[in-house]
Structure 1
Amino acid sequence: MGMSLDAELLDRWTTLAGPHAHAVGEDLVRRYREPHRRYHTVEHLAAMLAVIDDLAADAADLDAVRYAAFFHDAVYAMDGTDNEEASARLAESTLPALGLDAATVAEVARLVRLTGGHHPDPTDRNGAVLCDADLAILAADESGYAAYTAAVRAEYAHVPDDLFRSGRAAVLAALAEGPALFRTPTARARFEGPARANLAAEIASLTGR
């Protein structure tokens, strides 16, 4: 039997940050295991890290992108908190003590904040890789996409259906209106077509159009 997902993530974290950072890794995994999460979980983090591996050649600073993946949903509150901002601040307060230089800490925090809107600058190689990895779920097969949308709805179970549908449709429409959902050539070739089809179908089901 292989390692548990938590153990795999901790192993990846200590490979990245060093064995002295083990306690921080445990705290990060614990956060992704919070009971109110349905999509923003350890499975999502592991899937993102796997896509980052596939897109590694497109990143300018692969370690910074991986740190940003670990932190990008570290804070996931459902009370109106700006989760990306809070997660970025957690990175800013945590990483210096692990020995990261100020420039790397700043880059990690910048990348975490980018996942709030997924609009990296065209020249932003690190941002392209992180955002592409975060959005890769949009290209899932039919059952995978259904599980994803059900998990997102479960996270917002406190939101009435009509409000959720209009809000979710607006988020998806904002994503879909750009010239490309994915920024790296590898992700665009692999994910753009299936993701566009999934978005169109979900928007239609949400809006009845």
Structure 2
Amino acid sequence: MARAAAPQIAQPAELALALCFHDAIYDPQAKDNERRSANWAQAVMQAAGAAPDALQRVDALVMATCHFQPAQAPLPADSAWMLDIDLSILGAPGARFAQYQAQIQAEYAWVPAADYALRRQSVLRGFLQRPAIYQTATMRARLEAQARQNLEQALALAIA
């Protein structure tokens, strides 16, 4: 996959940094993990003497992982790859996706079970309602069908 993506990525080093820093600060009870992770990336990059435009691009890449809403217009290639890599777990083989689901549930054990079930179903449905889960043709071809199968199965189990 890395070779297929390489020609499409404008700033590979910045994408790599953003991937390293996204979720570097992660507290399931916090609502500002991406912002705090992006701020940390900014501080490290500034200390290393990175250019201001590089700081802005890495910040935007990390913040893109908030997944506030599906993109309405085509994203810049690096942002599309960032989102697709972040969501690649959705298209993992079924057994790995089931592990991921259990890991997410464990992270949110502090949420009452009924509330967790409703919120998780809403998140899963949100991904399924997108015309495409993945932004890049490469990731759509590789993972879209499996992701949809995983999400549908997770919803069926949650409702049963």
Shift of 1:81: 3.4
Shift of 1:52: 5.3
Give the aligned partner of residue 152 of structure 1.
Answer: 104
CA distance in 2, matches of 1:115, 1:84: 7
CA distance in 1, matches of 2:2, 2:35: 22
State yes or no: 1:179 paired with 2:131. yes
Q: What's the CA shift string for 1:51-110, capped at 9, x where partnerless?
A: 656533322211111110011101101333311111111112221111211101110011
| Percent sequence identity over aligned pairs | 34
User: Which runs of structure 1 show a deviation greater than 3 angstroms over 4 or more consecutive aligned residues?
Assistant: 51-54, 118-121
Shifted more, 76-85 versus 193-202: the winner is: 76-85
Q: Aligned ranges for residues 108-187 of structure 1 at < 5 Å?
A: 108-117=58-67, 119-120=70-71, 121-187=73-139
Partner secondary structure for residue 55 of structure 1: helix
Count residues in correspondence. 158
Give the aligned partner of residue 104 of structure 1.
Answer: 54
Q: CA RMSD in A?
A: 1.7
Question: Residue type matched to 2:155 in 1?
Answer: I
Give the aligned partner of residue 6 of structure 2.
Answer: 56
Question: Residue type matched to 1:66 in 2?
Answer: A
Q: What's the CA shift string for 1:151-207, capped at 9, x where partnerless?
A: 111111111111111111111111221110011111110000010111111122223
Give the aligned partner of residue 24 of structure 2.
Answer: 74
State yes or no: 1:83 paired with 2:33. yes
Higher relative contact order by CA 8 Å / sep ≥ 6: 1 or 2? 2
Q: Which residues of structure 2 form unaligned runs of 5+?
A: none
Partner secondary structure for residue 29 of structure 2: coil
Going from structure 1 to structure 2, the CA distance change for 1:54 and 1:152 (only over 3 Å counts) comes to farther
Please report the TM-score for the alignment, with normalisation by the length of structure 2. 0.91
